[in-house]
A and B are shown apart, each in its own frame.
Chain A
């Protein structure tokens, strides 16, 4: 009967005080010993102990006032524990003891909070009284300072500084929570206020008060500084510092492995064939960095300019045909397939640009305008952009008689790199003047961005296929860098120091990788992961510098032409067996459709 009445209030209290009373399970199967203990202890405990503890806490509170809340919870825990001990108790003794306990607990807790609220201010007040005396002492020391005006000006200032610094030192402990110091500091604040009432300039005083020295040496230097300070001004370089290109997590920086992930990622790296699939002779290939003599069409034909001839090699059939031979007074300086793979643009040393229909094997038209050699070309649908040695870039609309539709003036030296973005909205050009110009197709009067980071001619340009805004550019022998640009913001996103002349860059269409071909001294192909910029593989490709490279329409094969007069094919981006070349096929069909719409007169 009594036990039932007792147990319910107990549970409710458990819930109230803390979750640790989950240990209340223990008493459900109490050992006889425990029982013996509990019976003896709580009986003594029940009423006399709790008040004692309370009083003890009251005593301790003034020093630990901050922890008042914690203490009460501590108490709650301890008290709830005692209540467990009660629960297994037997019969009348328990019946009497526990309700009393509960009552006391409730009361005591409330009184705890109550006294906490009421008593702390009281104690603070009571403490303040003696402390005031202390403040008198401190003000006395400051009062001593007040007599200083008799001394020389500078020493007075120095003293004021140190006095204030003391104040700061005293203020600091305030945060640690001892009441005495807070009062002290408030007193010192008063003192400072009084000091500021002196004839010392407010500004100076504040500037002195800021540094709180840790060392005597510093105080000395501060005093020295104070002497100087009177006639110095603090100047700030006002322009805002440039934004960092990306958020930085220092932890990541600290944990960066010395060898950039290359060793760790070795097991994840894919295998790349380092031997060429096929080697062709390219006799008479002009060893000139500024020309662009190799291109692979969407119809899987490779065009290469060898001195005065353009040869077309069909990758499907393996057959070679000579498309054209220029007049003896000039040479081929660039070749470029139209997007549909039906026509090839041919730039000549004379500045003439010819367009040839490859299937028919006949010239369709010649376009004049440049008076220097045309070293680079790029198609954007019906627009053929040509870059010349003069530094000028012309846009030709190949459908109309008045073919020159735009003149892009930016470079002051030979243009050797030119690449349209796949959507035709932006054009990137690079020149021998070390500039990279990024043009907006809608306004070609001035480049949208002109980048001067490269320290040598920029021939290698490549637009990222999966991120329209990403452009990679590679510099010549004195530069050796690949820079990556956000062409919307103009920011440089990343850079690689390749260690050798960058002659061409090609993004993979299927991997997050970019391949760079290099001239002196490596004559190699390097495949870089992006954006980690880890060099996955370096293939010693040619005996002399690699001049040109181009990707096959399916994106798997890279063709390279080098000064050793050879044309090599590398399966660097081999697709996995499962993944069909869907992208390349759809792309070429789309181009074929577009070709029907274009007629070249």
Chain B
């Protein structure tokens, strides 16, 4: 029995637990796709500029416009670094009306980093999170807090489905819109010249909807969209 259990344990460990680094990469990648998705879903760029890419078991729409791609790539290169060092607590995508300069929509991704993924503490938090967010995972009642990659992918896919579905309740964006990417970073993080301090670009008297989140062994991401109420 005991050796069998040990073997089982061994098997589990083989089931590719994400390291902190890998998890950071996964979250950063998630950010990249969410930026593209929001740009597409909210019509910041024309739909023709986007091509479908298989990711998370979904058809993700990714901009094929060079300038947009380059712009997001530049953001992502820095974001990757920050994520690796655990400097980021929030990523915010703000959609702004070009004519009035008014912020009309704000997508906020809260990042929580579990400092010691091995310890029992993280286990408990992960379990609690599972309770909140992934009924399917909690049903299995797995004692191992670390999720397998497919489970995480499924969580992310569910989140993207929700973002896609959110166009049904979000108000129609009238007029041309542009976007900005904000990052809540630790005060001691290195800041390249392209990045500068900013206000939170909150939406005044906006409506808020909490969306799904997902978690890896070392990160937890929560999603919140706030938008201006239509008059």
Residues of A within 8 A of B (CB): 172, 175, 207, 210-215, 217-218, 221, 225, 228, 231-251, 253-254, 256, 452-453, 492, 494-495, 497, 533
The 5 closest A-B pairs by CB, nearest first: A236-B198, A242-B67, A250-B43, A210-B202, A248-B43
Structural contact, B202 and A236, CB atoms closer than 8 A:
no
The docked-state distance in angstroms from the alpha carbon of A207 to that of B182 is: 15
Given contacts A242-B67, A244-B46, contact A235 B180 (CB under 8 A): no
Q: Is the interface of B mostly helix, strand, loop or mixed?
A: mixed
Closest residue of chain A to B187 (Cβ to Cβ) is A231
The docked-state distance in angstroms from the alpha carbon of A243 to that of B44 is: 9
Given contacts A210-B202, A242-B71, A248-B45, contact A234 B172 (CB under 8 A): no
In the complex, how many angstroms separate the beta carbon of A555 from the nearest chain B beta carbon? Answer: 28
Residues of A within 8 A of B196 (CB): 235-236, 238
Structural contact, B186 and A232, CB atoms closer than 8 A:
yes
Residues of A within 8 A of B195 (CB): 235-238
B136 at the interface (CB under 8 A from A): no
Structural contact, B46 and A248, CB atoms closer than 8 A:
yes
Sample of 5 more A-B contacts, CB < 8 Å, known A237-B78, A239-B71, A251-B172: A228-B89, A235-B196, A236-B183, A245-B65, A248-B43
The docked-state distance in angstroms from the alpha carbon of A214 to that of B208 is: 7
B210 at the interface (CB under 8 A from A): yes
Closest residue of chain B to A496 (Cβ to Cβ) is B48
The docked-state distance in angstroms from the alpha carbon of A333 to that of B25 is: 50
Residues of B within 8 A of A215 (CB): 210
Between-chain CB contacts (< 8 Å), 19 pairs: A211-B202, A214-B210, A231-B186, A231-B187, A232-B89, A234-B184, A234-B197, A234-B199, A235-B183, A236-B180, A238-B194, A239-B71, A242-B65, A242-B68, A243-B178, A248-B43, A248-B44, A250-B173, A492-B65
Q: Which residues in chain B, 159-186, are within 8 Å of chain A measured between CB atoms?
A: 167, 172-173, 176, 178-186
Residues of B within 8 A of A492 (CB): 65-66
Given contacts A225-B89, A228-B89, A247-B176, contact A239 B74 (CB under 8 A): yes
The docked-state distance in angstroms from the alpha carbon of A253 to that of B89 is: 34
Closest residue of chain B to A168 (Cβ to Cβ) is B205
Structural contact, A236 and B71, CB atoms closer than 8 A:
no
Given contacts A218-B210, A237-B195, contact A253 B43 (CB under 8 A): yes
Structural contact, A246 and B46, CB atoms closer than 8 A:
yes
Structural contact, B208 and A235, CB atoms closer than 8 A:
no
Contact of A232 among B44, B46, B66, B185 (CB under 8 A): B185
Residues of B within 8 A of A243 (CB): 178
Residues of A within 8 A of B194 (CB): 237-239
In the complex, how many angstroms separate the beta carbon of B187 from the nearest chain A beta carbon? Answer: 4
In the complex, how many angstroms separate the beta carbon of A514 from the nearest chain B beta carbon? Answer: 16
